[in-house]
Amino acid sequence: MANMQDEIRLDRNTEDNEDRNIHSLRPEGRNFEIHIKGQLNSQWSEWLEGLEVKLLENGEMILFGPIVDQAALMGILYKLNRLNLTLLSVSEVNEPNQH
């Protein structure tokens, strides 16, 4: 009986992993919002993988746009770190917040 339960768990885990892999392989990526302390002008957008740069009045900025996978996200975060910018938050979102 334990073997049957183990097989059911394995099947469910395989299905969950397949669903996650299909979701992460979408060519357009998932939308992320990266909140940063500090500002860069929109000319940095291309260097930051085409993310939209939104400057806030408080000296912070939000980067928004599709990121294809975790490796691309880590690459962007690495670039921001090299610029000595402080990361405030990273969120997966459907649409950019209206600030």
> What are the structural domain ranges in the chain?
2-92
Q: What is the CATH number of domain 2-92?
A: 3.30.70
d(CA 88, CA 34): 8
Which residues make Cβ contacts (< 8 Å) with residue 27, sequence separation at least 6?
68
The DSSP call for residue 85 is: P
pLDDT(12) > 70: no
Which pLDDT score, from 0 to 100, does residue 3 have?
A: 56
Which pLDDT score, from 0 to 100, does residue 22 have?
A: 45
pLDDT(28) > 80: no
